[in-house]
Amino acid sequence: MSAELRPVSAASVTSWDHEADVVIAGYGVAGATAAVEAARAGADVLVLERAGAWGGAAALAGGFIYLGGGTPLQTACGFSDSIDNMAAFLNTAMGPGADTERIADYCAGSVAHFEWLVDCGVPFKPEFFGEPGWEPLGDQGLMYSGGEDAYPFNTIAEPAPRGHVPKMQNKKQGQASAGFMLMKPLVQTATGLGVQSVYDVRVQALIVESDGRVVGITARQYGTDIAIKARSGVVLATGSFAYNESMMARFTPRIAGRPISAVEHHDGQGIRMAQALGADLAHTDATEVAFLVDPQQLVRGILVNARGQRYVAEDTYPGRAGQHTLYYQEDKAFLIIDEQGQDGALASQTPKLILRKPKWVCETVAELEAEMGLPFGSLQDTVARYNEGAERGEDPLLHKKARWLRPLGSPIGAIDLRHATGGFSLGGLRTSLSAEVLHVSGEPIPGLYAAGRCTAGLAAWGYASGISLGDGSFYGRRAGRSAARG
Amino acid sequence: MSAELRPVSAASVTSWDHEADVVIAGYGVAGATAAVEAARAGADVLVLERAGAWGGAAALAGGFIYLGGGTPLQTACGFSDSIDNMAAFLNTAMGPGADTERIADYCAGSVAHFEWLVDCGVPFKPEFFGEPGWEPLGDQGLMYSGGEDAYPFNTIAEPAPRGHVPKMQNKKQGQASAGFMLMKPLVQTATGLGVQSVYDVRVQALIVESDGRVVGITARQYGTDIAIKARSGVVLATGSFAYNESMMARFTPRIAGRPISAVEHHDGQGIRMAQALGADLAHTDATEVAFLVDPQQLVRGILVNARGQRYVAEDTYPGRAGQHTLYYQEDKAFLIIDEQGQDGALASQTPKLILRKPKWVCETVAELEAEMGLPFGSLQDTVARYNEGAERGEDPLLHKKARWLRPLGSPIGAIDLRHATGGFSLGGLRTSLSAEVLHVSGEPIPGLYAAGRCTAGLAAWGYASGISLGDGSFYGRRAGRSAARG
């Protein structure tokens, strides 16, 4: 079975089961956008999807698309932004080691990309959602999704919300996710352009000419081996490796075994097929981190590590709080919250189901510290300093916004957030800005293109919600156009 | 030039410039040990070295070889150890994500490996060096080199020193490094066994048969392309990618541009040549971290981050303090030390040249905190709690050993340790325990073997001094034997 990854010589293929100009592996957001652009460029397009239907992880996602630089939606909601301002944020937030060239490219094309999505029929409601949360509570179209308005980013770039969310129908009935509302019009657009698709197909290996050019894919469908010819180019859009245990153990061991926001088809197959041809990798240690706590609670408490120390502003992007917990605090955190804070969270608009209860509740901080087994004095010092600043409306340590500063009182409790993270891999194939897959030599592999989470995109280490649907759709389009050109 | 990485078809090679049973790329510790074992297995061996002489990074290194489980040297110095005890330490210290199978293999063979080195003529003086330091001050043969006797490891396994250092001649005159005293007898042993070597040869690409078997290497020597035939096997022992800017930026961006303890020949060429054949990678984010501060100072002060908080026991392995600084504290640290501590460091046996001076000196902690620009109260709380514990001979926060606990007095200063780290990459090719290079399919690539820092060895993330010479020599031997068998 593993040998199926090895490149297959075109000369050994005796008959082709399917044939198209552009063959795309994976019908998530990268595959769908690639299909639309390849078809518009005049190519005959075939999409191979492993599942029984289009959608991928995108259709199940919260639906944020990270866009900015002054999109019509930002403007309609009263926010100003610029390409440089957006790049300044991303260069810091996506690092350390952010790919500034890719970020500049993405930011420069962001407004046009928004318009392209709208043109494909993706709906956005011009309304801003300003409360803490993982996603808007209603069908609002815009939200802060990367901590742009929190420290330290609010000192690096002018805060602007860039999480663009497709408008959901029947949100209250839970009948659709915003990701579905992104995918549905994209697939309808592709279908309208004549894009063909085949489902329940597991891609196995790339087919190459003797000169190294990729000219097709082998796959299995219902137990049968098939060969698909790509006259112009192959696009890999097969998603992350979050469900490949070996890859996770070797590249991102801290989060191995805890995939979140991924689909089990994300087994790294596309990455490995290309590696077998000498394709290079990048940022394989980067991960999105989901932090399993409600942001409505997070902002009302103080987050401390196993030494009782605060380490990240509680009003930052919750995924960033999760990253700092997983990577900097060895996945050990506690949220210290008093009765008033917990009541405030309970009274928030957040669905009550996802609020957590404190594991420990005490009358005093000293008692709480002892019950939790924290080093003597550590939590007492932390709370005393926090309260002292909060009285003045300041947080000298972490610069949490004044809106959320209030001295913690009694009773006081702690929510156990040890090992409360999960996520998916962000690294993968190294590609050019034209979505060509790069060989370890640095040169493109002829005929092979890739986009989405099987590639390293905007994120080198940091992350913001909407980056994956953002770079997946942006470079998916590039991949489609490049593959159509051949 | 970049195209030179691509595998070359054996059929296209019209004449061979050199030929041997086993061809080894790189004459550092992995190459030398591979050469000895391949020759002892009866193979005709040729080593290709890029530099003008054998040695690699090993010959310039401090010379620690991480060995244990009850070596004669440990016993002679009065320490007991066991295979399980050593594995318990490494499984924690080399993680998160440590390869327990490889660690078990390495620990089980550790005593025999020590005896093998001694048999090759590597000298060890049975004397223990127990002071803080990056390496022994004299020619002592044994030292703690991974924080085994410090928290948290002293609660996980019975502390035993495992840093085995070859005895230097003329150490005081600085005429040799301990790494040289490892390499010299290994190369002499190899030479005595008839191993041939060629210098000033830059390997370029692997030569493969049509069935995928590796049968040679192409290289450049003095501007001429040459081809070297390997009748039995090729061993890659080309070192890390610390000097490959592109790889460092994509895999370990936090330390990119600051190589330490590496040689500039460590450009990742061996890794990339194998990747071009579909070889897989592992732990590409792992790095050794040198922390540019004298351990004699480190133990006498308290290490705080940019929030004035302590985060790692100051008497742990200094490389671990460096890792926690670089990766957990965004490379920002300050060492708070009082006059008595600084005087103690100055009075230590350490060469005075490498001791650092405080950047700020004040009468009180409050003044120091303000001068350093730390958040108000942060350092005052930290020092007060530390002093309170030190009075009792305890460090509840980080469990620094009582030997080093003393309340900090006045005057008090801070040594600036921001961006005071550097290091080399620890990840690389994925190999079997037999040192076969593994294809992304998980199967060995026929004819191709690797060891040393072009492979992922014992370290998944954490590190201890001596791990690289340890796994490089241990799996170098395996690579030599495997390649001789073919």
Taking only the tens place, the pLDDT of each residue in A37-84 is 999 999 999 999 999 999 999 988 888 999 999 999 999 999 999 999
What DSSP state is assigned to residue A173? G
Q: Are residues B441 and B337 in the same domain?
A: no
Q: Are residues A48 and A181 in the same domain?
A: yes
A-chain residue closest to B247, CA distance: A282
The predicted model scores a pTM of 0.96
Residue A305: CB atoms within 10 Å:
26
Residues of chain A positioned with their CB less than 8 A from the CB of B307 = 309-311, 397-398
Residues of chain B positioned with their CB less than 8 A from the CB of A377 = 385, 388, 396
Q: Are residues B51 and B68 in the same domain?
A: yes
Please report the pLDDT score of residue A4 as a whole number. 78
Locus of tokens 């996520």: A423
Q: What is the pLDDT of residues A175-212, one digit of tens each?
A: 568 899 999 999 999 999 999 999 999 999 999 999 99
CATH number of the domain enclosing A125 = 3.50.50.60
Query: Is the CB of residue B245 less than 8 Å away from at least one CB of chain A?
Result: no
Alpha helices in A50-139 (DSSP H): 72-76, 83-93, 100-108, 110-119
Res. A35: pLDDT tops 80: yes
Residue A159: cis peptide before it, omega within 30 degrees of 0: no
Give the confidence band of A2 by pLDDT, cuts at 50, 70, 90: very low
How confident is the model over A14-20, as a mean pLDDT? 97
Residues of chain B positioned with their CB less than 8 A from the CB of A254 = 96-97
Q: Are residues B124 and B162 in the same domain?
A: yes
Please report the pLDDT score of residue A1 as a whole number. 39
Q: What stretches of B316-384 adopt beta strand conformation (E)?
A: 334-338, 360-362
Give the confidence band of A173 by pLDDT, cuts at 50, 70, 90: low
Q: Are residues A41 and A146 in the same domain?
A: yes
B-chain residue closest to A247, CA distance: B282
Please report the pLDDT score of residue B173 as a whole number. 52
Please report the pLDDT score of residue A348 as a whole number. 87
Q: What is the distance in angstroms between the Cα of A432 and the nearest Cα belonging to chain B?
A: 14
- For chain B, the domain total comes to 2
Main-chain phi, psi angles of A185, to 5 degrees: -65, -30
Who among A3, A256, A381 is closest to B385 (CB)? A381
Please report the pLDDT score of residue B136 as a whole number. 92
Who among A5, A385, A430 is closest to B377 (CB)? A385
Q: Are residues A401 and A430 in the same domain?
A: no
A-chain residue closest to B272, CA distance: A440
User: Cα B306 to chain center, whole Å?
Assistant: 28
Q: What is the number of CB-based contacts under 8 A between chain A and chain B?
A: 141
Question: Are residues A441 and B2, on separate chains, in Cβ contact within 8 Å?
Answer: yes
CATH number of the domain enclosing A407 = 3.90.700.10
Please report the pLDDT score of residue A171 as a whole number. 58
User: How far apart are alpha carbons A242 and A264 in whole angstroms?
Assistant: 8
Please report the pLDDT score of residue B61 as a whole number. 86
Nearest of B236, B275, B267 to residue B447 by alpha carbon: B236
Residues of chain B positioned with their CB less than 8 A from the CB of A392 = none
Residues of chain B positioned with their CB less than 8 A from the CB of A311 = 307
Radius of gyration of chain A (CA): 23
Q: Are residues B251 and B333 in the same domain?
A: no
Q: What is the distance in angstroms between the Cα of A89 and the nearest Cα belonging to chain B?
A: 18
Residues of chain A positioned with their CB less than 8 A from the CB of B396 = 375-378
Q: Which of A246, A277, A440 best tests the B interface by mutation, with the highest count of B CBs <10 A?
A: A440
List of residues 6+ apart from B367 with CB closer than 8 A: none
User: How far apart are alpha carbons A38 and B464 in whole angstroms?
Assistant: 52
Q: What is the distance in angstroms between the Cα of B3 and the nearest Cα belonging to chain A?
A: 6
Q: Are residues B271 and B322 in the same domain?
A: no
User: How far apart are alpha carbons B14 and A277 in whole angstroms?
Assistant: 25
User: Considering A419, A436, A453, which residue would you say is the last residue of a domain?
Assistant: A419
Question: Are residues B250 and A281, on separate chains, in Cβ contact within 8 Å?
Answer: yes
Q: Which domain holds residue A14?
A: 1-291+422-485
SS3 A71: coil
Please report the pLDDT score of residue A168 as a whole number. 84
Nearest of B367, B368, B369, B341 to residue B356 by alpha carbon: B341
Question: Are residues A307 and B310, on separate chains, in Cβ contact within 8 Å?
Answer: yes
Q: Are residues B401 and B434 in the same domain?
A: no
Q: Are residues B281 and B303 in the same domain?
A: no
Residues of chain A positioned with their CB less than 8 A from the CB of B310 = 307
User: Considering B401, B419, B437, which residue would you say is the last residue of a domain?
Assistant: B419
Sign of CA dihedral B449, B455, B457, B460: negative
User: How far apart are alpha carbons B413 and B343 in whole angstroms?
Assistant: 12
Nearest of A91, A95, A29, A105 to residue A63 by alpha carbon: A29
B-chain residue closest to A441, CA distance: B2
A270 in Cβ contact with A48 (< 8 Å):
no
Query: Is the CB of residue A6 less than 8 Å away from at least one CB of chain B?
Result: yes
Query: Is the CB of residue A184 less than 8 Å away from at least one CB of chain B?
Result: no
User: How far apart are alpha carbons B462 and B69 in whole angstroms?
Assistant: 20
Radius of gyration of chain B (CA): 23
Residue B220 one-letter amino acid:
R
How confident is the model over A240-255, as a mean pLDDT? 96
Please report the pLDDT score of residue B2 as a whole number. 47
Who among A249, A443, A456 is closest to B3 (CB)? A443
Query: Is the CB of residue A102 less than 8 Å away from at least one CB of chain B?
Result: no
Residue A404 one-letter amino acid:
W
Give the confidence band of A351 by pLDDT, cuts at 50, 70, 90: confident
**Residues 393-432 in B contacting A (C-alpha not used; CB under 8 Å):** 396-398, 430
Q: Are residues A64 and A14 in the same domain?
A: yes
Give the confidence band of A170 by pLDDT, cuts at 50, 70, 90: low
Going from the C-alpha of B288 to that of each of B61, B242, B259, B425, B478, the distances in angstroms are 13, 10, 10, 6, 23
Task: State the 10-residue block means of pLDDT for chain B, 486 residues long.
Answer: 78 97 98 98 98 92 94 98 98 97 98 98 97 91 97 98 90 70 97 98 97 97 96 98 96 92 90 98 97 96 98 98 98 98 88 86 98 98 98 98 97 98 97 98 97 98 97 98 96
User: Considering A400, A419, A438, which residue would you say is the last residue of a domain?
Assistant: A419
Please report the pLDDT score of residue B174 as a whole number. 53
Q: Are residues B94 and B153 in the same domain?
A: yes
Encoded tokens for B167:
């005895």
Nearest of B198, B189, B237 to residue B479 by alpha carbon: B237
Query: Is the CB of residue B253 less than 8 Å away from at least one CB of chain A?
Result: yes
Please report the pLDDT score of residue A60 as a whole number. 87
| % helix, strand, coil for chain A, step of 5 | 35, 20, 45
